[in-house]
Amino acid sequence: MTREETSPLLARLLNAESASEQVATLRLLKHELIGHDQRKETWIHWGIIPLLSRILLSRRGGGKKAATSSEQNGLRRRTDLTRARTEDEEVCLQAVIIVGSLAQGGPAFIPPLLASDIFPSMLYILSSPGCPQWLALPILKTFNAVADRYILQNVNWPQDNHLADVLFTPDYIRCFAHIIAQSSPSQATESCVSLTSNLIAKLCTDESHKTALAEYGVLDALALKVASFVVAQGFVLPGAESHLTEDGSLVSFPPAASSSAKLAPILRATAAIVESSKSRAEHFLTSPSIVAVFPGRVPEFSPTDIRKNPWGMPYLSGAAVPRQNHASPIDAILPSVPQAQTNALTNFPPLLPMGSFHKRSLSFLETSSSDEEENAIVPWLLHLVRTESGMSRVMAARLVTALFRLGFAKKRRIPMFSYLVIPILLRMLEKDYDFKTESDPEYDGLIPTALRLREEVTFILAASVMDTQELQKYAVEGKAIKVLSQLLKETYNAHQANSKVTWYAETKQKDMHSEISPELQLGPVGYSPMTCHIMRYREGILRALSALALFSDEYRKAICQNGVVPYVINSLKPRPPHPSQDSAEIKNSATDGNPLPTLLAACGTARALSRSVSVLRTSLIDAGVAAPLLELIKHHDIQVQIAATSALCNLALDFSPMKEAMISSDILAILCEHAHSTNMKLRLESLWALKHVAYNSANDIRMKILTGLDPSWLGQIMSMDPTIKRENVPTLDIDSPMGMGTSNSAGEKVDLLNPVNAESRDEVMDSAPSLDTVSQTIFFPNPVRRRKLALSGELTQKRQARQDDIAVQEQVLELVQNFMIGTGSSEIVDLLLQEIGEQGFLGIIADKIRPRPMPTRRDTVASANPPVPTEILKAVTFMLINFAAGPPKYRDMLFTHQNLLKDLMWLYDHPNHKIRTNCVWIAINLTISDNQSDQQGCRERALKLKALGIVERLRNTEKDPDLDLKERTKTALNQLRQLVDL
C-alpha cells in the first residue's frame, strides 16, 4: 500500500506566516487526527512532534507579564480568566489539544512524545504566572491521558517511571500545589484540582517523588483541601476556633469546599504520598489546615489537682494526672462496636515488684498520653467509609488504613476496623456490589471505574490485615479466603478483548530505520488496559492472601484447601520483557506469564504458605513450587531475586523435601554470589538461605558454601561493628546555611527547607497586604516542619542502614554456628580458623561480648559507645555454645584469649533471658566430658571458670524467674561440683 509523501497541511503549518494562519491549520489538523490512529502514526513519521515541540517552546514565557504576589500563590485575577484569548494563546491551546489526541492513540505514541521537549514546555506554561484555566485544563487532561497509557507500555510498572521524573521536578512541582490549593465554585477550577490530584496518585510510586511532593508543599495543599471538606461537612471540632491563633494552626478556618468539588481524588493523592512513611504522614497530620479543624485536645485535670500559689497563679499539684478522654466528638456518630476483651482487671494496678512499679507506671501513662494524641481525622475517615459510596468510600478506606498501618490510628481502633472496615472491603469484592459511580475519565477512563476500584480494594484489604492477627481473624470469618481464592482463579479465565487492535504500518520497519530520531518513531504497542488491570488485580489478591497467611497455620491450610496453590505457582512465571505486536489483546493466561509486581506478590504468598510444615510437605511440593523459584533467583531484576530468595529460605529448611533440589542444582553458587551483593536485602536473604542449607548438611555441601563465600570475607563481616555509622549513607548537612541544598535544572543551588529567602518574602508581603493567610501558610511553609520532615527521612535511612548491617552480621554468625554442627564439622571449623586465624577468630567474638558502658547525657554523638545489639549477642553466644560443644581443643582454645571468657561473665546478668540461658549452656559445654581422656581437661577448665567468678554468676541465675534457665543452671552447678569444690 502506498501513501502520499506529505500532507498539504504539513506544508501550510511549516510555512505559516502568522499566528492566525497557524491556528487555522492546527484546527484542521486536530479534526483530521481525532479518532484516526493510522493518520496519527503517519503524522508522527512526518515530524509533527518536533513541530509541535517548537510551537510550544516558542510560547514559553513569550509576552508574559511579571508575576504578582497573588499569582505566585495560585490566585489568578478574574480578568485573566474572562479576557479574550490572544492568537498566540490559541496556537498554544490547539497544539496542546493535538498532543492530547496523539496520546490517546495508545502506548505506542508515548515514547516519541517523551523524547521531545513537549512535556517540559507544557509544564512551563502550566506553571507560568496567570496561566488561564481554559489552557490549564487541557494541559492537565493531556498529562492524565499520557499517564493512563504510559503504564500500558510495560506491565512491569512501576519499576520504570520516567514520566514522573519529568513532571515532579523542583522547577515545576510547586505549581501542582498552587493548582490544588485553589478554591472556587467554578467547575473548571475543581476539574483542575481533581485532574492534578489524580495525576499525582497515578504516577507517584517512587519514594523520592513522594518526599519531593511533601517538601514542596503539595501535601500541605492536599491537607488544605481535606480541611475544606471537613468545614463543608460541618465536622470542625467544637472549640476549634479558640485554637486558631496557636502555633502550627491557621488564623482562620479554610474556606468550605464547593458543591462541585470532589473528595475522592484528594484522598487518593494524599494516601499515595503518605503511604509507607511515618514522617510524611505526620507532616500531613500537623499541616496547619488539619490542625485548624482538628486541633489536639488539651489535657483536662480534676479541679482538686489545680492549686494556686500565694500570688494567685494556678499550678498543678505534684500528683496531678490528666483525665483519660480517648474519644473524639466524631466518635459519637460512629456505630458502637464490641470492644476487645482483656484478661486483666484494669481497675487494679499490675502486680509487680515494688522496684519496677514506678517505671511501669510511667510507661503506662506515656502510652495513654500518646493514645490521646490520635488525630480526629481518623474517626472522620471511618465515618466516610461508613456513609460514602464509590470512590470516596474506597479512598477514605485507603487513607485511614495507611494511617492505621503507620501507627496514627491507635490500637483501640482495631474493633472498629474489624466490624466496619473489613466487612465493607469484603462486600465491595462481591460481583453484585454496586459502587454507585459512573465511569470517571479523570480517574481512569480506559476501563470501567468499578473494576479499577475493586482492584484498589484488594490492596487496601492486604494492608489492613497485615501484622494484625485480630483483623486477620475477622477477615477470615468474613470468608475472605474463599472470596480471594475464587477471584484469583478468575484472573486466569479467558476475557473478551474490548479494545481494538491498532494496525501499525511502520512498526515492522522499525529496525530498518533505527537511525531515525526517536521523535519520529512509535514505541512498543504495549498491553491492553484490561491486561494491566487483571495483572494488577492478581497482584492485590496475592498480597491479601499472603497477609492472611502470615501467622496462622489454620489459615494457610484453608488457602490450600480452596485450591489456589496451582494458581500461585502459575503466578511465579515471568512475562517476556517486551510486548508482542498482538499485546493489545488480553494476555492473562498461565502461559502469558506475569509482570514484576505480580511476581513479587506471588513470591510473598509462596513464602507465607511455606511457613507451614504440613503445607510445605504436601500442597507446595505437589504443585512444584521449587522449580519456578529456582528460576526466579536468576531473574534479571534484583527485587525479584530478593523475593524469590526470601521464599527459598523456607524451602531450604532441614525438614523440607525440596532442600535436596536446591543442593543438586547450581543454586548454591548463585546464592554465594548474591551474598556478596552490594544490595543489602539480597545479601541478607541469600545468607539466610545458605544458613538453612548449611544446617545438618554433609561436609561437602558446607565446604562448598564456605569456599563460595570465602572465609576471609566471612571474617570481615563478623568483625564489623554495626553500631558505627556507615560512611556511604548520605547525610544531611545540618550546619549548612543552605539547609537541604540541591541543584536545580540550571545547576544553581536551591534551599529546599527555606525556598523563599527573607528578602524576597518580605518584598512579597509588602507588595501584597491582601494576601490571604491560608495561602501564606501553604506557600511559605514553616521551615521547622520542613526541616523535621527532611531530618526524619535522613534518620529513617540511617536507621534502616544500621538494621541491615545488624541483620547481615547476625546471619553470618548463625551461618558459622551451623558450620559447627554435625558429623565432621571440625574439618569446616579448622579451615575457617586457618583462614581467619585462631586469635583473630576469638578476637572477633571477644569484641562482640566486651562490656560497653551505656552512653550518658554528657557523651557527645562522636564519643558515645552504643551497646552491641541483642540480636548479635544472641548469635555470638549460640556460636560459643556450638564451639564449646566441639572437640576438647576448641574448648581449651577459648581460654587462650586474654579477655573472652572474662568478658562473658557480665552477660549472665543480661536483661534478655535467652542470652542468660546461652551463657549457662556455654558453662555446661565447657565442663562436660566426652570421654575419660578429657576428664583432666574438664577439671582444669572448671577451675579456670571458678576463678573467673562463674559460681557466683550461676548462683544468681539459679534464682532467675525463667524456669528453663533455672533447670540449666542446676545442671551446670552439678557438673562443677563433680569437678571442683564449690
pLDDT tens-digit map of 25-74? 999 999 999 888 889 999 999 999 999 999 998 876 443 433 333 444 34
Is 816 found in the same domain as 672? yes
pLDDT on residue 579: 60
Q: Domain range spanning residue 98?
A: 1-64+83-150
Say how far apart CA 339 and CA 415 lie, in whole Å.
6
Is 104 found in the same domain as 57? yes
Q: Does the structure show a pLDDT above 70 at 318?
A: no
pLDDT on residue 17: 82
Is 891 found in the same domain as 817? no
Q: Does the structure show a pLDDT above 60 at 110?
A: yes
Question: C-alpha cell of 460?
Answer: 487496601
Say how far apart CA 486 and CA 473 lie, in whole Å.
19
Q: 770 lies in a domain?
A: yes
Please report which confidence band the pLDDT of residue 509 belongs to, taking 50, 70 and 90 as the band edges.
very low
pLDDT digits (tens, 9 = 90+) for 826-846: 999 999 999 999 999 999 999
Across the chain, what does the average pLDDT equal?
81
pLDDT digits (tens, 9 = 90+) for 396-410: 999 999 999 999 998
pLDDT on residue 685: 95
Is 169 found in the same domain as 114? no
Please report which confidence band the pLDDT of residue 302 belongs to, taking 50, 70 and 90 as the band edges.
low
pLDDT on residue 578: 65
Please report which confidence band the pLDDT of residue 645 belongs to, taking 50, 70 and 90 as the band edges.
very high
pLDDT digits (tens, 9 = 90+) for 438-497: 666 667 778 888 999 999 999 999 999 998 999 999 999 999 999 999 999 999 998 776
Q: 805 lies in a domain?
A: yes
Section 567-585 average pLDDT: 78
pLDDT on residue 508: 43
Is 168 found in the same domain as 131? no
pLDDT on residue 851: 87
Nearest one of 924, 979, 981 to 957, comparing CA atoms: 924
Q: 283 lies in a domain?
A: no
At 314 the three-state DSSP class reads strand
Task: Write the CB contacts of 420 (distance below 8 Å, at least 6 apart in sequence).
Answer: 334, 335, 337, 382, 385, 386
Is residue 158 reached through a cis peptide bond, with omega within 30 degrees of 0 on the bond before it?
Answer: yes
CB of 670 closer than 8 Å to CB of 693 = no
CA distances from residue 430 to 200, 386, 393, 806 in whole angstroms, order as listed:
29, 17, 16, 45
Which H or E run contains 751? strand 749-751
Give the residue, 127 or 352, on which the prediction is more confident: 127
Please report which confidence band the pLDDT of residue 311 belongs to, taking 50, 70 and 90 as the band edges.
low
pLDDT digits (tens, 9 = 90+) for 235-262: 999 888 888 877 778 888 999 999 999 9
Q: Does the structure show a pLDDT above 60 at 980?
A: yes
CA 450 vs. chain centroid, Å, equals: 26
- Within 10 Å of residue 929's Cβ, how many Cβ atoms? 16
pLDDT on residue 589: 85
Is 784 found in the same domain as 738? yes
Cell 531473574 sits on residue: 635
Question: C-alpha cell of 164?
Answer: 514522573
Section 90-98 average pLDDT: 93
Percent of the chain with pLDDT over 70: 79
Q: Does the structure show a pLDDT above 60 at 279?
A: yes
Say how far apart CA 940 and CA 892 lie, in whole Å.
9
Please report which confidence band the pLDDT of residue 510 belongs to, taking 50, 70 and 90 as the band edges.
very low
Please report which confidence band the pLDDT of residue 800 belongs to, taking 50, 70 and 90 as the band edges.
confident
Q: 226 lies in a domain?
A: yes
pLDDT digits (tens, 9 = 90+) for 847-875: 999 987 765 555 544 445 678 899 999 99
Is 166 found in the same domain as 29? no
Task: Output b/e per residue, 585-598; b: 16+ Cβ within 10 A.
Answer: bbbbeeebbbbbbb
Is 137 found in the same domain as 48? yes
Q: 874 lies in a domain?
A: yes
Is 796 found in the same domain as 671? yes
Q: 564 lies in a domain?
A: no
Total number of domains constituting the chain: 4
Section 226-237 average pLDDT: 94
Q: Does the structure show a pLDDT above 80 at 202?
A: yes
Q: 730 lies in a domain?
A: yes
Look up the pTM and report it: 0.85
Q: 475 lies in a domain?
A: no
Is 126 found in the same domain as 174? no
Please report which confidence band the pLDDT of residue 620 belongs to, taking 50, 70 and 90 as the band edges.
confident
Weakest mean pLDDT among 185-189, 328-332, 512-516: 512-516
Is 806 found in the same domain as 674? yes
Say how far apart CA 573 and CA 973 lie, in whole Å.
58
Q: Does the structure show a pLDDT above 90 at 598?
A: yes
pLDDT on residue 171: 85
Weakest mean pLDDT among 665-679, 748-762, 829-843, 910-924: 748-762
Section 90-110 average pLDDT: 93
CB of 212 closer than 8 Å to CB of 170 = yes
Section 270-290 average pLDDT: 93
Task: Write the CB contacts of 274 (distance below 8 Å, at least 6 apart in sequence).
Answer: 219, 280, 281, 284, 399, 402, 403, 406
Which segments of 695-851 does DSSP mark as H helices, in order?
699-709, 711-719, 758-767, 773-779, 783-819, 825-836, 838-849
Task: Judge residue 654's burial from the number of C-beta atoms within 10 Å of its C-beta, 0-12 exposed, 13-18 middle, 19 or more buried.
Answer: exposed
Of the residues 135, 150, 165, the one at which a domain ends: 150
- In CATH, what number is assigned to the domain containing residue 906? 1.25.10.10
Is 892 found in the same domain as 823? no
Q: Does the structure show a pLDDT above 60 at 498?
A: no
CA 472-478-484 angle, to 5 degrees, is 80
